[in-house]
Amino acid sequence: MSTDVVRVRTGVYHDSVSLMRVSRTATALPGVEVAVVAMATELNLGIAAELGFDLPEAGPADLLIALRGGGADTLEAALAELDGLLAGLSAMPAGGAAVEHPPHTVRAAARERAATLALVSVPGPYAFAEALDAVEAGLSVMIFSDNVPVEQEVLLKRRAAELGVLVMGPDCGTAVIGGAGLGFANVLRPGPVGLVAASGTGAQQVACLLDHAGVGISHLLGVGGRDLSADVGGLSTLRALEALDADPATELIVLISKPPAPEVARAVAETVAKLGTPVVTALLGPGQDDLTAATETALRALGAPVPAWPSWPAPGTTGEHAGSLRGIYSGGTLCVEARLITGSGEFTDFGDDAYTVGRAHPMIDPTLRLEALAEVPPGEVVLLDVVLGHGADPDPAATLAPAIAGAAARGVTVIVALVGSEGDPQGLNAQAEALNAAGAAVFTSNAQAAGHAAEVAAGIAR
């Protein structure tokens, strides 16, 4: 019979992404069947209650730890492990000085630390207040949080424009400022290309392809996936373009987005025409360049050669395996790009807000994608992305390779778009070889992976 242990720690705060990682690690501890390690927000308390935990009084400023497993001794040992993990989250970086009375607001931190940029990673309902505090303190802000209402996004970006700062996000998955990566960030060489992206994984794809070609970036400014929508009007995109245009280290700008609203695309084009720095646009849509083609255009504009993008072909992906096509994605822009290229099939973006409420992004936690892959019937063709870099799963092949091998044994053809750089901590080549050995064809270009998947599904691949 299972035993439950529930602890509430008052006044202890950690960001949601860090706690999701700890929760996932706790689930894998010996004897632990269920683990919830999260701030005691209404959403997280509801999730724990649905799992059957008997919960004490707690609020969003409290840390909730709820474990279920095989016996009190086992769970006490798991709690000790968790204490170590949580202590690691609180530790100062090497060389940092301890702070006796740490600031309790963004504005106070800005005064004490002489900061210029704030990173907000709290549950969506609480992100607006923290981000507004940062903007009012004169800071630019990256909002990693998702599930932020669009009305709040517009208010933040309008206020930021009045104060001359930049809002990156909400749902800004990646940024690189002067070589420092934020959020999901690849290890990239410095160079002359500045990126403005209403897309996290789309920006990572372009930046990593540039890196494969030996070309680095100056800055990567994410603006949030809705910035080029009619509701938001490109408020942060326009400011980011102007900021990169004024940066002497940026010789070329690449603008990346899922299909924008037509009126916003026109406004952006008017701004681009006035800039002194050349701009390559990768605004996905029918008849537009894909991300790989746009990257190749950027390389030619710089006078750099276009390489053959690394790939690892798998045996058996010939016409005899023709079948229906299914996309199981973690990156929204990569999913849109693949759907545009293939023109058919069933595609799911598991990184969409609808799938990340109360759980980690699929680049961290592959559970939903593994379940989806396990349900694919024999004869189908599966296309999925694997995104490397800091913040992402430290070894995605460890869980994906066995699932791919199992799918291949059922007669499913698996094709992987592997987005990463040579310097990423997971090891690009090691990940590619493990996925390939499990039976997947692996491409570093999502566009090439999608094109290959379409050919296989149609029975014309060779």
Give the start-to-end residue ranges of the domains of the chain. 3-90, 106-301, 311-458
How many angstroms from the chain centroid is the CA of residue 349? 12
Indicate the range of 98-107, 138-147, 306-315, 321-330 predicted with least confidence.
Answer: 98-107
Is the per-residue pLDDT at 257 higher than 60? yes
Burial of 427: CB neighbours in 10 Å, binned 0-12, 13-18, 19+:
middle
Average pLDDT over every residue of 438-452 = 97
pLDDT band at 95 (very low <50, low <70, confident <90, very high): very low
What is the structure's pLDDT at 319? 42
What is the structure's pLDDT at 25? 85
Instruction: Report the CATH fold assignment for 3-90.
Output: Alpha-Beta Plaits (3.30.70)
Q: Of the candidates 284, 124, 295, 276, which has an alpha carbon nearest to the alpha carbon of residue 199?
A: 284
Residues β-bridged to residue 37 = 65
Q: Phi then psi for 419, rounded to 5 degrees?
A: -100, 115
pLDDT band at 459 (very low <50, low <70, confident <90, very high): confident
What is the structure's pLDDT at 450? 98
pLDDT band at 23 (very low <50, low <70, confident <90, very high): confident
Gap between the Cα atoms of 300 and 377, Å rounded: 43
What is the structure's pLDDT at 216? 97
DSSP conformational letter for 105:
S
Tens digits of per-residue pLDDT, 122-148?
Answer: 878 889 999 999 999 999 999 998 889
What is the structure's pLDDT at 188? 97
pLDDT band at 96 (very low <50, low <70, confident <90, very high): very low
DSSP-assigned letters across all residues of 352-409: SHHHHTTS--TTT--HHHHHHHHTPPTT-EEEEEEE-SBTS-S-HHHHHHHHHHHHHH
Gap between the Cα atoms of 73 and 244, Å rounded: 57
HSE value, Cβ hemisphere, 13 Å, CA-based, for 223: 29
How many angstroms from the chain centroid is the CA of residue 227? 16
What is the structure's pLDDT at 26? 86
Q: Name the pTM for this structure.
A: 0.86
Would you say the CATH fold of 311-458 matches that of 106-301?
A: yes
How much of the chain exceeds pLDDT 70, in percent?
Answer: 95
Class of domain 311-458: alpha beta
Is the per-residue pLDDT at 63 higher than 60? yes
Residues β-bridged to residue 181 = 176
* 174 neighbors 182 (Cβ within 8 angstroms): yes
Q: State whether the Cα torsion 262-263-268-274 is positive or negative.
A: positive
Is the per-residue pLDDT at 439 higher than 50? yes
Q: Which residue has the higher pLDDT, 254 or 16?
A: 254
Percent of residues in the chain assigned helix, strand, coil, to nearest 5: 40, 20, 40
Class of domain 106-301: alpha beta
Gap between the Cα atoms of 354 and 10, Å rounded: 30
Average pLDDT over every residue of 25-42 = 88
Tens digits of per-residue pLDDT, 365-384?
Answer: 898 999 999 999 999 999 99
Q: Indicate the average pLDDT of the chain.
A: 91
The amino acid at residue 92 is M
Tens digits of per-residue pLDDT, 219-240?
Answer: 999 999 999 999 999 999 999 9
